[in-house]
């Protein structure tokens, strides 16, 4: 049975206006729990359930069904996997198989740009200087932007302590295993460690679980998952030079 796409509420002031001559951009933000879909001009995004069995074929089928009455010209996809030159180079840990080498252009019938999901939200959240983005969701997304240039950075599966990774501690598994208070302390320790190592001017904490933080670590600000759609649109805007975003 097909799972129903659910509306994701957004503020009315954030509704994008489609200007004459501008492409209608479909942004697909693929997460371990949901795939969030929004087309330029839509007042609401759509959420499609994902998970460990979701394949790219299923994702495309669900997106097309959800947008069967909506037109779009180009597509941006944020994928929770390392992406080099617009192509995923390894399979997402929290999804089904088949993402590496999948032809999204053929499947969607539109020009497609693929980027790491954390990098897409980072692009939407970026203001100036150096910024580290940490996505606290099903896993741990990470991206760093320095003077407008994205530097590839994959922290999730690096060793952290006791034979476990950063994602094991600050991702969803860590939250479920330790409980919110201990998980929040670990987030603070990870932030402090990365501040010393990378020296960003600010750290943005995004992802669905960032809202569970009662107190933000020093030097951080809370992100907004809706910034992923801003980042996805920036990939197709004239003022954004894709050569400056290497991920």
21, with CB counted inside 10 A (0-12, 13-18, 19+), is exposed
Residue showing tokens 């795939």: 35
The average confidence (pLDDT) of the chain is 88
Q: Please give the pLDDT value at position 238.
A: 52
Tell me what the mean pLDDT of segment 213-221 comes to.
Answer: 95
Would you say residue 172 has pLDDT above 90? yes
Is the pTM of the predicted complex or chain greater than 0.75?
Answer: yes
| Reported confidence tier of residue 19, pLDDT bands at 50, 70, 90 | low
Tell me what the mean pLDDT of segment 157-178 comes to.
Answer: 95
Cβ proximity of 123 and 233 under 8 Å? no
Domains and CATH numbers, the chain: 6-119+227-244 (3.30.420.40), 127-222 (3.30.420.40)
Considering only 23-27, 40-44, 185-189, which range has the smallest mean pLDDT? 40-44
Q: What DSSP element (H or E) covers 37?
A: strand 34-39
**What distance in Å separates the CA atoms of residue 229 and residue 123, rounded to the nearest whole number?**
10
**Secondary structure of residue 5 in the 3-state scheme:** coil
| Reported confidence tier of residue 44, pLDDT bands at 50, 70, 90 | confident
């Amino acid at each position: 049975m097909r799972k129903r796409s659910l509306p994701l509420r957004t503020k009315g002031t954030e509704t994008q206006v489609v200007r004459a001559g501008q492409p209608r951009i479909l942004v697909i933000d693929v997460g371990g729990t949901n795939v969030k879909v929004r087309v330029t001009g839509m007042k609401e995004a759509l959420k499609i359930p994902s998970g460990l069995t979701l394949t790219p074929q299923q994702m495309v089928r669900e997106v097309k069904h959800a947008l069967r009455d909506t037109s779009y010209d180009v597509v941006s996809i944020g994928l929770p996997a390392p992406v080099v030159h617009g192509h995923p180079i390894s399979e997402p840990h929290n999804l089904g198989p088949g993402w590496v080498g999948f032809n999204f252009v053929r499947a969607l019938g539109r020009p497609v740009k693929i980027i790491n999901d954390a990098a897409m939200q980072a692009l939407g959240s970026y203001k100036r200087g150096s910024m580290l983005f940490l996505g606290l969701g099903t896993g741990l997304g990470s991206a760093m932007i320095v003077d407008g240039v994205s530097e590839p950075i994959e922290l999730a599966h690096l060793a952290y302590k006791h034979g476990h990774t950063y994602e094991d501690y600050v991702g969803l598994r860590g939250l479920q295993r330790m409980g919110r208070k201990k998980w929040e302390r670990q987030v603070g320790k990870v932030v402090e460690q990365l501040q010393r190592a990378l020296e960003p001017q600010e750290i943005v904490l995004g992802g669905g679980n960032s809202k569970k933080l009662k107190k933000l670590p020093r030097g951080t600000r809370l992100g907004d998952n809706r910034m992923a759609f801003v980042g996805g649109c920036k990939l197709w805007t004239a003022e954004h030079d894709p050569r400056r975003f290497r991920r």
